[in-house]
Structure 1
Amino acid sequence: MQFIKIVLVGIGQIFLQKNGLSGLIICIAMFFSHWALGIGCLLGAIIGTLTAIKLNYPKEEIQQGLYGFNASLAFMCTMFTFGLKGVSLPVFLLGVISAVVATLVMREFTKRNWVAYTFPFVFTCWIFCWGISQIGLFGLWQTTPELVDHTATLESIKQPFYAWAEVNFGGSLITGILLFIAIAISSPNVAIWGMSATIISPTLAGFLFDIEPNQLANGIYSFSAILLACAFSGNRFRDLVYVIFGITLAICIQFGVEKTGLAPYTIGFIVTAWLILWIKGKVDHSKVSSEKLSNLFNP
């Protein structure tokens, strides 16, 4: 039972939530997009957790689910890239390998006390998903379907939930709704910040770049924004500044990476989050506060 709880907490950590119930709902949600994504979500977290246990990683870190979420994302990415039209043995084995490698990379960060976020997943999938799909290694070619047209008025209203689903490669409205509920159960505040990010991000992306409207409607430029909101939500004005700045920068990074032909995954979120952490360290150290700033202009 304890192992199952750890696995579910690991799934919850995809959205930076240490909550097993959230993890359970997230896993269930993925089946509404595709059964392969649901299986990948669960198996990835199981494999990552087992790998950490067998390699004697710190028990406290394992219990926090730190070795489940990147492995879960890596397995889901493998299914999304190669398995949506049928999961063959090579695809399944590649998913297992990706989950293990993502866990090993994660450990390189944790033992140095570095914040990894979803970098282990991105690094792993650049090699085992994007890289393999480019050359057709093992006879594997990308089977990801074309984006569904969500630009109709009624469909575009649902955009925020498609954005939530996209965090985990999903494309179902129900998936998005359940993911939002999963985070709201863990932290209503974070869920509200995340929902706000799904509105701000496509607006900024459409303003900054000539992005195809259906990409925006499908939430392609919103999933990193949701993760940034989950990471830096708070009750201070500076938290809002961090998130708005982060969303803007993440959009620019994602757009730039896409232009190279490389799959961006969540690299926009990762690089931006690392930068914000550095800025926060400087600002907090200098003890700058909105209260002090307000006092300069008030009697």
Structure 2
Amino acid sequence: MKKSNHNSLTREGFPLLMLASFRGISQVMLIENAVTGFIILVAITVSSYLLGVITLLSAIIGTLVGKLGGETTKEGVNSGLFGYNSVLTGIGLTLYLHGSYQWVISLIGAAVAAIFTATMMHFMKKSEIPILTFPFIGLTWFTLLASYKLKAFKLSSGLVPQDLSHWKLNIAGDINWTEGIFNGIGQIFFLDNILSGILLFVAVFWAGWKFGLYAIVGNAAALVTAYALGGEHTLLYMGLYGYNAILTIFAVSIVFNSEQNRFAPLSGIIAACLTVPITASVSTILMPYGLPALTMPFVLCTWIFLGARKVLPSL
């Protein structure tokens, strides 16, 4: 079995590599679908040609690491499980770093993310709790923090440590709800572009009507919750409260609902709402370090609900 997997991509050649890479892109949204992955790639490229190239290269690199490393199950490589953390890491480091080594660091980060993914798979295998995007989060945070001690890593000017003692909450201004809807799904890939958001909705509906419906519901739940709790209007229409909610409702209500629990839709909505205060708190904790929250709220909320299901199966 292991030998067959090691040679599988070689025998099938470039088409299989690309299909696995596209699935790696789609796995960012917990979806295993090559067409969905391709549409997502188009959505990213529409927003930025640079990010489109980085996304594709990162997905290929992650897939190759899984293949060349002799991953023990053929399904792991071909389903894209070694690509999605690489994709997010490549995009994140490209956006948050600058300088002549930006591309090199981003693509090396994509390769390391695949290795980190394998490590996390091993350690969390017995718990039956998915690793989700934690390898991407940990690797990105550590890389950004390294910039304070290593000259080769140059932080983007947008990442500035802030003093909490002088922080003021700004809830002035109107909310553009249309932008909030499409930016919510776009921010999963760091995108702030309405057309890209529309294409991403097309991508999830292609994977199945449930994904499309839950994407709308999860984003709406986050927007309403954030508004009711007095969240900053700028963050609402930029989609920074929506993307974690969408990923969380996908995980809790669809992907990891193996028992087809009748309460899973409600659990997913509650989990999506919970991402709002967790996003606010994680962002606040990281402000003195100038670090972004990334998808940590999604990981925390999903782990909380999936872990609780081991004891409280009705969740």
Query: TM-score when scaled to structure 2?
Result: 0.81
CA distance in 1 between partners of 2:102 and 2:215 (Å): 32
CA distance in 2 between partners of 1:171 and 1:116 (Å): 27
Aligned length: 275
Whether the 8 Å contact between 2:54 and 2:107 is mirrored in structure 1 is no
User: What is the one-letter code of the residue matched to 2:271?
Assistant: G
Offset, 1:138: 1.7
Q: Which of 182, 189, 212 does residue 232 from structure 2 map onto? A: 212
Check 1:207–1:135 CA distance in 2 against 1; reply closer, same or farther (3 A cut).
Answer: farther
Offset, 1:283: 2.8
Whether the 8 Å contact between 1:191 and 1:230 is mirrored in structure 2 is no
CA distance in 1 between partners of 2:217 and 2:272 (Å): 11
Offset, 1:125: 0.5
Q: Which of 256, 264, 277 does residue 293 from structure 2 map onto? A: 264
Whether the 8 Å contact between 2:97 and 2:153 is mirrored in structure 1 is no
Equivalent position SS for 2:116: helix
Q: Which of 63, 70, 89 does residue 49 from structure 1 map onto? A: 63
Check 1:183–1:134 CA distance in 2 against 1; reply closer, same or farther (3 A cut).
Answer: farther
Offset, 1:30: 0.3
User: What is the one-letter code of the residue matched to 1:251?
Assistant: V
Whether the 8 Å contact between 2:22 and 2:38 is mirrored in structure 1 is yes
Please show how residues 127-276 of structure 1 align to structure 2 within 5 Å: 127-129=142-144, 131-132=145-146, 137-138=151-152, 140-144=154-158, 155-208=176-229, 210-234=230-254, 237-260=262-285, 261=287, 262-276=291-305
Offset, 1:143: 4.4
Offset, 1:162: 0.9
Match of 2:33 in 1: 19
Offset, 1:111: 2.5
Whether the 8 Å contact between 1:190 and 1:229 is mirrored in structure 2 is no
Match of 1:99 in 2: 110
Offset, 1:104: 1.2
Check 1:9–1:29 CA distance in 2 against 1; reply closer, same or farther (3 A cut).
Answer: same
Q: CA offsets, 1:116-157, max 9 Å, x none?
A: 10111101110123x145567326121459xxxxx766x432
Equivalent position SS for 2:27: helix
- Cα RMSD of the aligned pairs, angstroms, is 2.2
CA distance in 2 between partners of 1:121 and 1:187 (Å): 26
Equivalent position SS for 1:282: coil
CA distance in 1 between partners of 2:70 and 2:35 (Å): 26
CA distance in 1 between partners of 2:29 and 2:58 (Å): 15
CA distance in 1 between partners of 2:83 and 2:201 (Å): 20
Match of 1:295 in 2: none
Bigger mean CA deviation after superposition, 246-255 or 63-72? 246-255
Answering whether residue 83 of structure 2 is matched by residue 68 of structure 1, we say: yes
Answering whether residue 141 of structure 2 is matched by residue 126 of structure 1, we say: yes
Whether the 8 Å contact between 1:190 and 1:233 is mirrored in structure 2 is no
Bigger mean CA deviation after superposition, 229-238 or 3-12? 229-238
User: What is the one-letter code of the residue matched to 1:226?
Assistant: I
Equivalent position SS for 1:138: coil
CA distance in 2 between partners of 1:4 and 1:172 (Å): 26
Bigger mean CA deviation after superposition, 95-104 or 135-144? 135-144
Whether the 8 Å contact between 2:179 and 2:239 is mirrored in structure 1 is no
Answering whether residue 94 of structure 2 is matched by residue 79 of structure 1, we say: yes
Whether the 8 Å contact between 1:80 and 1:144 is mirrored in structure 2 is no
Offset, 1:232: 2.2
Q: CA offsets, 1:235-255, max 9 Å, x none?
A: 755123312321233222221
CA distance in 2 between partners of 1:101 and 1:182 (Å): 27
User: What is the one-letter code of the residue matched to 1:120?
Assistant: P
Check 1:201–1:186 CA distance in 2 against 1; reply closer, same or farther (3 A cut).
Answer: same
CA distance in 2 between partners of 1:15 and 1:133 (Å): 29
Identity %: 24
Equivalent position SS for 1:265: coil
Answering whether residue 120 of structure 2 is matched by residue 109 of structure 1, we say: yes
